[in-house]
Amino acid sequence: MTTGRKRSRLYYTRRITLALIVLIVLVAVFWEQLPYQRFAEGQIREILGQYGITVSSVTVDHLNQNEAKISALTLGGDEHPLTAGDIVATYDWQALQDGKVRTLQIESLNVDAYETKDGWSIGGLEPLMQADEAAAPTSPSLLFDAAALRDLLPAQLSLPDVTLNANGVSLEGTSHFSFTLESLAANATFDKAGVTMGELGAVTESASLSTQLDEATGRWAGNLSAPIVTVTGTPMPLPPMLADINFEADAKTISATIHVQDEANEMRADFSLNMPTNTPGKGKLVAEELRFPWGGGVISARKTTLPLDGASPVKLKINIDEVALAALLELVSDQRITGSGTLKGSIPLTWSPDGSLTLHDGEISAPGEGRLEVSPDLLPAGSQENIALVRSALENFHYNLLKITVSSDADGKPRILLAVQGNNPDTLNGRPIKLNVNLTGDLLPVLQQSILPSQDIKQLLKRETP
């Protein structure tokens, strides 16, 4: 953007601010006997309307030569409104003639940011976000222009209560936010803040934010930390977490490093974020490392790219290390099979935007020996000798080789196959047995298809005898 265009935008923005405040003050001074509040409200609508901004509601509660109070301000339509609660502005008459306000306090602010084909826009302020240089008196790029900010903003800005909605992500919090114009620095502490995204939610009772604009580079840099974050809506309960975010932002790019961990640092996640400032949906969040304890071992993933467009699948490889076989069998067999021993391996999968999971070819194996117990009621009672032998073998199966392979069929349905080799010391004098069990289907049909039709079970067992 050229310097001339920036100054032109700055000129128009200052003119709006100056016109509004001077108008209110003049009405207060010279028309005290008239219904000046209603008159001022009408003038606010008219002036903002000249710039394409729709004022759905506004109430001027009080004004004089040094202070103005406005409530129930709503800009824009019903779909993406910008609403503000009580607004209090203080000013000095001499400085006001140059468009400067001493302090500005907004008791509550509700902002709806959304993405369009041309980039991001803010509800209620769409005309100011236009790409057309001649039509837009301001632009998000001014947020990174120190001279423009000093001309536009009050010496002190405070904002105690904020709600931000952006493409299905909602941020709501009670804060003590202050911005100091002289140092171009903002600081905030949050008594309570929460983020929701679909069924997922995160709430913190205490958080702090600090950021400052580097005038030379036009880049904001800062830190957001929350010592206790409670996460909800996850498939499994999570302990309270600590979050620490370091970020930088300029007119082109927003980047951040994000670290989350529990108190014992057993469960942790490290992310790197990089996205265009005006089109965040084109950015990427990379999970450098995800790690959490489960089943006595560790589940982890590394270098997983999470697209931010909400429409792209996520591909990752789940690594399993020293996880108890019993925990996994409980998950995939609905507690129909129990066992002992540990597992190690990896499972590649794809998580689609509709929430479905597709398993790709992966393998988990037990590095040592262990034991399997299959509930007898999984196999039908009967007099057939083959079924009786299988039931008996699986009641107390001691394995020396165990492997679980996963994949998906042509329809995307998961296939999990358990292959074991070992013996039952209480059956057939402990002779070796090999079994393949499909954990995703009915156990009996799989056993019938993979073992029983091939030959008499006695012959099968005999052939496996050394």
pLDDT value of residue 457: 36
Query: pLDDT grade, residue 14 (50/70/90)?
Result: low
Choose from 33-47, 343-357, 381-395 the range with maximum mean pLDDT. 343-357
Q: Identify the residue with better confidence: 228 or 463.
A: 228
Choose from 7-21, 185-199, 236-250, 406-420 the range with maximum mean pLDDT. 236-250
Least confident of 129-133, 197-201, 348-352: 129-133
Taking residues 222-250, what's their average pLDDT? 88
- Exposed e or buried b for every residue in 298-317, given b needs 16+ CB within 10 A? bbbbeebebebeeeeeeebe
Q: What are phi and psi of 326, to 5 degrees?
A: -60, -40
* Six token digits for residue 24: 């209110």
Residues in the chain: 466
pLDDT value of residue 168: 62
pLDDT tens digits for 451-466?
Answer: 333 333 333 333 333 3
Taking residues 30-37, what's their average pLDDT? 54
Strand pairing of 109-116 and 156-166?
parallel
What whole-number percentage of the chain has pLDDT above 90?
A: 25
228 pLDDT higher than 50: yes
Choose from 5-9, 193-197, 200-204, 459-463 the range with maximum mean pLDDT. 200-204
Taking residues 283-295, what's their average pLDDT? 92
Query: pLDDT grade, residue 387 (50/70/90)?
Result: low
Query: pLDDT grade, residue 26 (50/70/90)?
Result: low
Three-state secondary-structure class, residue 201: strand
CA-to-CA distance for 19 and 209, rounded, in angstroms? 34
pLDDT value of residue 137: 39
pLDDT tens digits for 138-147?
Answer: 445 667 888 8
296 pLDDT higher than 80: yes
Query: pLDDT grade, residue 299 (50/70/90)?
Result: very high
Query: pLDDT grade, residue 136 (50/70/90)?
Result: very low
321 pLDDT higher than 80: yes
* Six token digits for residue 213: 């604009």
Least confident of 77-81, 306-310, 404-408: 306-310
Strand pairing of 119-122 and 219-232?
unpaired
Choose from 64-73, 121-130, 287-296 the range with maximum mean pLDDT. 287-296
Strand pairing of 87-90 and 82-84?
unpaired
CB 57 within 8 A of CB 74: yes
Least confident of 170-179, 262-271, 333-342, 409-418: 170-179
* Six token digits for residue 90: 């203080």
One-letter amino acid of 451: I
pLDDT value of residue 57: 93
Query: pLDDT grade, residue 212 (50/70/90)?
Result: very high
pLDDT tens digits for 48-75?
Answer: 887 788 999 999 888 777 888 898 899 9
Q: How far apart are the first and last CA of the chain?
A: 81
Q: Which element (helix H / strand E) includes 235?
A: none
Taking residues 373-402, what's their average pLDDT? 74
Query: pLDDT grade, residue 234 (50/70/90)?
Result: confident
386 pLDDT higher than 70: no
Give the global pTM.
0.73
CB 121 within 8 A of CB 75: no
pLDDT value of residue 16: 61
The whole-chain average pLDDT of the chain stands at: 78
351 pLDDT higher than 70: yes
CB 66 within 8 A of CB 91: yes
Q: Give, in degrees to the nearest 5, the angle at Cα 324 between 318 and 325.
A: 90
pLDDT value of residue 448: 38
105 pLDDT higher than 80: yes
One-letter amino acid of 301: A
35 pLDDT higher than 90: no
pLDDT value of residue 268: 94
Choose from 10-19, 117-126, 385-394 the range with maximum mean pLDDT. 117-126
Least confident of 14-18, 86-90, 137-141, 352-356: 137-141
Taking residues 149-159, what's their average pLDDT? 81
Q: Is 342 exposed, middle or buried (0-12, 13-18, 19+ CB in 10 A)?
A: buried
CB 445 within 8 A of CB 439: no
pLDDT value of residue 447: 38
